[in-house]
Structure 1
Amino acid sequence: MKVRDKVRSPCVSVCALDANDICIGCQRSGDEILRWSTMTEDERREVLKNVAEREKQFQI
């Protein structure tokens, strides 16, 4: 796999979970954060889709 094909973590080093277990920095759930390092690239892409949806919900 080429480096450019790897899905990078959305972490922005602002790590705090809200009341819904969603990180206020990267919008991943606690479970998604814990499992990130063992996920396949396809699973990571799915998480990023979920992150994008969460970001849309909280835009002002």
Structure 2
Amino acid sequence: MDQLEFFDIPSPCIGVCQSGKSGYCTGCFRSRDERLYWNQATPYAKRIIIKACQRRKSIAQRKKNSDAAATTPKQTDLFD
């Protein structure tokens, strides 16, 4: 059931607007259709899109951190 919204839900756009390898925007993590139809979406749909974007962003950050950890050489101890 849709909840009554008193205020419009703002777009999660941060002005980067570039598609990454996965097809999602590298700034807000929305798909092309989510960006295209944002203004026509219901408040309920907008909340779902924002939650999906947050989930995509956390997955991308975890992947980035694990890739950086795998490629960064470990510093050896000077006194070993």
* TM-score bracket for the superposition, by shorter chain length: 0.7 to 0.9
CA RMSD across the alignment: 1.2
> Structure 1 vs Structure 2: percent identity of aligned residues?
33
Alignment of 1:1-60 (within 5 A): 2=6, 5-59=7-61, 60=65
Higher RCO (CA-CA < 8 Å; seq separation 6+): 1
Structure 2 segments unaligned to the other structure (5+ residues): 66-80
Pairs aligned (count): 58
Paired with 1:20 and 1:52, the residues of 2 have a C-alpha distance of: 15
TM-score scaled by length of structure 1 = 0.87
In the TM superposition, structure 1's runs of 4+ consecutive aligned residues that sit over 2 Å from their partners are: none
TM-score scaled by length of structure 2 = 0.67
